[in-house]
Chain A
Amino acid sequence: MARSLKSALLSLLLLAVFVGAWHLATLPKETARSAADEEYAKLMGQGAKKVSGLPTPARMGETIVRQLSDPFYYRGPNDMGIGVQLAHSLARVGTGYLLACLFAIPLGFLVGMSPLLHGALNPFIQVLKPISPLAWMPLALYTIKDSSVSGVFVIFICSVWPMLINTAYGVSAVRREWLNVAKTLEVRPLRKAFAVILPAAAPTIVTGMRISIGIAWLVIVAAEMLVGGTGIGYFVWNEWNNLNLTNVVFAILVIGVVGMLLDFAIGALQRRVTYVE
């Protein structure tokens, strides 16, 4: 049997064990009660069985099917389909991330080409890089005055650093002999940048892009919990306030799957630009 098939089977087995354990853990429990308790429970219209706050796998499955069968409904700002929420989050991440690409990759190129610029900008980068993107939030809200745009800004600021640093490194580490080839062929600067340096540095640049998209997807959830209104992060917080843990767990799953898909997308790009020396 092929190893990948074995791995897949083992994955399924692990999933089954997990779901089984989950099922057992959330089974309704019989508890010993006094007669007074019995009376009280009847008074409250409850049966003898106590239901756990955590969803059972069956209820979870039911929720997944219900949510996915109608992902794009809109019944007021407090009740939107998961697809609508995701679309809001992806739009923010997409905009912030794209702006970060447009800013970081050209700047990284310049920093990588010029040791002078690298020396001048490095202290700023080193100080700004470790700042939690959410720490920018108050400043963003105050200056931008729009919560949704502030979310985009936070995505921008957290995506910028890995791309900037990786692009600068990739560009500065282009093999000297390839540059010498370009020199002896009298290749013009613009052509050298696009035909030699860019493809040579592309694997490093895309690695930076991959790190960035991961961070952006981590940060958007927290950012949307803060700014509220729309998005998957807001959805999680809203369902917590509704005490609907089933929906919270569902949202967690969706966040994971979408994050994985985003990583796959950049991973595919990475495979396209990677070369073997």
Chain B
Amino acid sequence: MSAFLQVQRLAKRYPAPGGGLTTVFENVSFEIGKGEFVCLVGHSGCGKTTILNVLAGLDAASEGVVIMDGREVVGPSLERGVVFQSHALLPWLSALGNVAFAVRSRWPQWSRAEVRAHSRRYLEMVGLAASEHKTPAQLSGGMKQRVGIARAFAIEPKMLLLDEPFGALDALTRGVIQEELLQICARTHQTVFMITHDVDEAILLSDKILLMSNGPAAIVAEVVENTISRPRDRHTIHHDPQYYRIRNHLVDFLIHRSQQYASAGAARPTRPPVVRPGLDAGPIAKSANVVNLRH
């Protein structure tokens, strides 16, 4: 059986000034299984958000296809819930109104009371039952993002797409919401694709981490499998012996290796290699495994 979501040789190119084409990213292929949590990590400008928008159906790729549940993604759909970077709440509606707006779109035949009850349940899930009548302007940044998450979950999509949802939050709030997201996903077995540039967040939340090289002409250079077993706890995860091996691997990639793929003659895999730095024997393996991979 093929994977739940298949992304095949996705590319985005723009006409460059003075003729020719500028390639933002190319040859992006990966798969996400049902119930998997996948993070996409990379520097700014490598086209992460564009990839997410293509998965959401808000943007069209220049090449390649996205297949979800056996059907090609050609436009936006209620089967994919999106949590936007800037929360994107409608400011003239209350918190409940924002969730209800989505719920009514999903189930237009429902009565007012049904929509209300369903929306309330999801606001409660993110701990905002007491603030349901507040407008977004009256909510803090963390609360706004929670409403955005509740709105995306409330339509019970087959897949959730999160575009750096915690990027604008302070570290404390971020930790709390990460925990909530972790619990909600564990309960609902939600399939999630998330963009982040926070390495610790990626290790805490995801099953698989896609590493993107720098743009232009970015590629998915590597798939890092997160071998730390679930359930994971934000407070204890850094004591796991695998934690720093994975973390160092990710940071090494972001600092050193992410720019090497652009140079001429560099290996540019069309199928990114899958690595498991957490399972590497010995003390912290530095980047030895990387060297091994190259040869």
A residues whose Cβ falls under 8 Å from a Cβ of B: 175, 177-178, 180-181, 183-187, 191, 195-196, 199-200, 202, 273, 275-277
Name the residue of chain B whose CB is nearest to the CB of A276.
B137
Ordered by A's residue number, 20 sampled pairs between the chains whose C-beta atoms are within 8 Å are A177-B84, A177-B86, A178-B88, A180-B76, A180-B84, A181-B82, A181-B88, A183-B57, A183-B76, A184-B77, A185-B76, A185-B78, A185-B106, A186-B76, A186-B78, A199-B90, A275-B92, A276-B91, A276-B135, A277-B137
Within 8 A of A (CB), among B79-133: 80-82, 84, 86, 88, 90-92, 101-102, 105-106
- In Å, the complex CA distance between A183 and B80 comes to 11
Complex contacts, B21 vs chain A, CB 8 Å? none
* B91 adjacent to A186 (CB under 8 Å): no
Name the residue of chain A whose CB is nearest to the CB of B103.
A185
Q: Per DSSP, are chain A's interface residues mostly helix, strand or loop, or mixed?
A: helix
Given contacts A186-B76, A186-B77, A187-B105, contact A181 B90 (CB under 8 A): yes
Name the residue of chain A whose CB is nearest to the CB of B92.
A275
* B76 adjacent to A177 (CB under 8 Å): no
* A185 adjacent to B101 (CB under 8 Å): yes
B residues whose Cβ falls under 8 Å from a Cβ of A: 56-58, 76-78, 80-82, 84, 86, 88, 90-92, 101-102, 105-106, 135-137, 155
* B57 adjacent to A184 (CB under 8 Å): yes
Q: Per DSSP, are chain B's interface residues mostly helix, strand or loop, or mixed?
A: loop
- In Å, the complex CA distance between A169 and B59 comes to 25
**Which listed residue (A184, A187, A200, A273) contacts B81, Cβ 8 A?**
A184
**Which listed residue (B58, B77, B101, B155) contacts A180, Cβ 8 A?**
B58
Name the residue of chain B whose CB is nearest to the CB of A277.
B91
Given contacts A185-B105, A186-B77, A195-B101, contact A275 B88 (CB under 8 A): no
* A184 adjacent to B76 (CB under 8 Å): yes
**Which listed residue (A178, A185, A199, A277) contacts B102, Cβ 8 A?**
A185
- In Å, the complex CA distance between A200 and B101 comes to 14
- In Å, the complex CA distance between A200 and B77 comes to 23
Complex contacts, A184 vs chain B, CB 8 Å? 56-58, 76-78, 80-82
**Which listed residue (B90, B92, B105, B136) contacts A186, Cβ 8 A?**
B105
- In Å, the complex CA distance between A177 and B56 comes to 13
Name the residue of chain B whose CB is nearest to the CB of A198.
B92
Name the residue of chain B whose CB is nearest to the CB of A183.
B76
- In Å, the complex CA distance between A178 and B105 comes to 14
B58, B88, B102, B137: which has the most chain A beta carbons within 10 Å? B88
Name the residue of chain B whose CB is nearest to the CB of A180.
B58
Taking the closest CB of chain B, its distance from the CB of A80, in whole angstroms, is 45
Complex contacts, B81 vs chain A, CB 8 Å? 184
- In Å, the complex CA distance between A181 and B91 comes to 13
- In Å, the complex CA distance between A187 and B56 comes to 15
13 additional A-B residue pairs with CB within 8 Å, beyond A183-B76, A184-B76, A186-B105:
A177-B88, A178-B88, A183-B57, A184-B77, A184-B80, A184-B82, A185-B76, A185-B105, A186-B77, A187-B105, A199-B90, A200-B90, A200-B92
